[in-house]
Amino acid sequence: MEPRTFCWALRRLMDGNRVRRKGWNGPGQYVEVQRPTDLSKMTAPYCYLHNTQGDLFADDWEIAG
């Protein structure tokens, strides 16, 4: 099975999935891509990430339900 690294998670995000880490214990914690609308100041897709270096190097990412 492919390691579920942040690289794996980023590919799933770009496909439109929400992702999270198994190690995150709070309910409703996940990452998803935000796509700008005509009303948005943003012009490109983005994610709000408030994570640590440990998250970036972890291999327990999964699709969030």
What does the alpha-carbon distance between residue 43 and residue 6 come to, in Å, rounded to a whole number?
24
Express each pLDDT in 28-63 by its tens digit. 889 999 888 888 888 888 887 777 788 889 999 999
40 within a domain of the structure (yes/no) = no
Give me the mean pLDDT over the 3-19 stretch: 95
60 within a domain of the structure (yes/no) = yes
Backbone angles phi, psi at 7, to 5 degrees: -60, -45
* Domain assignment of residue 25, given as a range: 1-29+53-65
pLDDT confidence bin for 64, thresholds 50/70/90: very high
Task: Please choose, from the candidates 59, 53, 63, the residue with its C-alpha nearest in 3D space to the C-alpha of residue 15.
Answer: 63
User: Which two three-digit tokens encode residue 20?
Assistant: 């999270």
What does the alpha-carbon distance between residue 39 and residue 60 come to, in Å, rounded to a whole number?
36
Task: Please choose, from the candidates 26, 28, 48, 44, the residue with its C-alpha nearest in 3D space to the C-alpha of residue 36.
Answer: 44
pLDDT value for 41: 86
pLDDT value for 59: 95
pLDDT confidence bin for 22, thresholds 50/70/90: very high
DSSP type of residue 63: E
